[in-house]
Amino acid sequence: MGPLSGVRVLELGSFIAGPFAGQLLADYGAEVIKIEPPRTGDPMRHWGITKDGESLWWPAIARNKKSVTVDLRGERGQRLVRDLVANCDVVLENFRPGTMARWGLDYESLRAVNPGVVVVHVSGFGQTGPNAGHAGFGSVAEAVGGIRYTTGSPDDTPARAGISLGDSLAALFAVIGTLSALRERDASGAGQEVDVAIYEAVFALMESMLADYHVGGVMRTRSGSVLPGVAPSNVYPTADDAEVVIAANADSVFGRLTEAMGKPELATDPRYATHQARGAAMSELDELIGAWTSMFDSAGLIDLLQQHGVPVGMINTAATILTDTHFADRDMILWRQSATGTELPMNGVVPKFSRTPGEITHTGPELGADTDAVLTTLAGVDGEQLAALHADGVV
């Protein structure tokens, strides 16, 4: 049983940020009840790469969850959700601010039925402020929060990472906020709202960007595969056409790198002897190291550098990760069967717990698979009422 066993979460919303937070909570053992629109479900069921019409993303982002269909746009569906909230610890939602209030599902209404409930909001720009009501996907939040301006080549337009970075960061902060609020509730007995803005989740990662500009007069911008003034720390070629990252910018580590290269004199060469000198000589140092790494295949190079205590790693792809023994030994590739029978490799549970490990008990459920059981058990709906709800399309 995971560390959140006994915590019940009601997940409202769709796409990535909120559902990924729900996935993480479910990985840790929380009972996550996902509310989906009848008939259509979460659009994520059909997003991304598909096989026979089935999303290969869905089984992972919906893993360990229960699927309950409820039409949130009607009064009967809204009443059902309030009944469910009475028996939940957390409500996780990522609608545009104001939507929950229009449905009678704002925090005050939910607190009235459950004073201890923690309501976690995930939105583009937060629940307050002049931009609160604006639509805000993760890609927009990455731009507003500052990370797009610093990502990519200095000679090109701002780039994006090949994943939904903003949404994922917001999900992580949503989980942190959820756990913090639950911890405080242990002492006070009272719930509260947790307001996660995607652009702020991005902005929180921007280190000393503001002080660098306002005080130091330096505008952080795109620098490709390096950080200005930090060397050697770059991508280097190998004889087998792979690429590795070597991070040897600290004085002691640079010394170990020069020993591995058979050129220990470089460590005391005035051009490279200090952090500042190496930063100033970044291009020539990278050229020198790249010429050396090109003489080795990637496996031999990594083994040599690891023997010398130099931080090094392969630039992995999905193909290389699937054969990586370290990933396998750490249970970071877990093979599970989707609801339609497809064998899928998916990311393991992070972090690791020594006594109460997280687990993947099942992949994304069929739409509405748990509707009857959850509404009967937690919302007090009897058989006759359930039949009427189905007949009228409420669930």
Asked if residue 351 has a cis previous peptide bond (ω within 30° of 0), the answer is yes
Count of CB atoms within 10 A of residue 272's CB? 22
Hey, is 155 helix, strand or coil? coil
167 as an active site residue: the answer is yes
Q: In whole angstroms, what is the distance from residue 172 CA to residue 167 CA?
A: 9
CB distance 97 to 70 below 8 Å: no
Phi, psi for residue 299 in degrees, rounded to 5: -65, -45
CB distance 64 to 26 below 8 Å: yes
Cα 227 to Cα 154, 194, 223, distances in angstroms: 12, 34, 6
Quote the DSSP letter at residue 44.
G
CB distance 62 to 23 below 8 Å: yes
- Catalytic residue, chosen from 27, 71, 167, 286, is 167
Quote the DSSP letter at residue 39.
T
CB distance 199 to 125 below 8 Å: yes
As beta bridge partners, residue 345 has 335
DSSP string covering 35-62: EE-TTT--GGGG-SSEETTEESSHHHHT
Q: In whole angstroms, what is the distance from residue 183 CA to residue 393 CA?
A: 39
Residue with token string 């039409």 = 71
* Single-letter code of the amino acid located at 224: G
CB distance 36 to 335 below 8 Å: no
Active site residues: 167
